Amino acid sequence: MKVHATVNDSRTDIQIRDEGSRVFVEIENRNYEFQVEESATGSFLMIHNGRVFDCRVEGRPESGKPITVVVGQTEYRVTLTDPRRLRGTTGVAASGDDVARIVAPMPGKVARVLVAVGDLVSVGDGVVVVEAMKMQNEMKSPKAGTVTSLSAEAGATVNAGDVLAVIE
């Protein structure tokens, strides 16, 4: 599975292959193999080249939703975006604080912005239209609320997983 990853504001593509307790990862043409054992809910031991890493995942990994990953004493903010799941309303990441983040479904160009900061939206209202591969994808609101942030503007180029709007 190929995913787009943002780790502490740094973006890259990652190829992941899971074979039971063995996980194979390719990042920027570098290959890694890990033995992964769950030690408790959300806690894992990852073994690579004889080294053992104690890891904790805070949050449920979902496409486009940021989580916290702690390796030893170091904390990382990680967002994984599965490009296969970014279609229509799946370009939305909701978080535990009842905030919906509208994310770009794939690299493309913002064709139209249908709302402004402060606008009230209902479930299913169009928020942003992104054009990619000669197709236009209207990103819709998954919830009723207020547009609190808008980072999209017509004509701007966007990357897959970029947050275009936030609805609270």
CATH number of 2-81: 3.30.700.30
126-129 contacts at long range (C-beta below 8 A, 24 or more positions apart): 127/102, 127/164, 127/165, 127/167, 128/102, 128/152, 128/164, 128/165
Look at residue 93 in the predicted model and tell me its pLDDT: 46
Look at residue 104 in the predicted model and tell me its pLDDT: 82
Look at residue 49 in the predicted model and tell me its pLDDT: 92
CATH says 86-167 is which class?
Answer: mainly beta
Look at residue 80 in the predicted model and tell me its pLDDT: 82
For 40, residues 6+ apart whose C-beta sits below 8 A from its C-beta are none
Look at residue 90 in the predicted model and tell me its pLDDT: 41
| Same fold across 2-81 and 86-167 | no
Look at residue 84 in the predicted model and tell me its pLDDT: 59
Taking the C-alpha atoms of residue 51 and residue 4, their distance in angstroms, rounded to an integer, is 26
Q: Could you tell me the residue ranges of all domains in the chain? A: 2-81, 86-167
Look at residue 116 in the predicted model and tell me its pLDDT: 93
pLDDT, averaged per 10 consecutive residues of the chain (168 residues), comes to 83 86 90 89 89 88 82 88 54 55 85 94 90 83 90 88 88
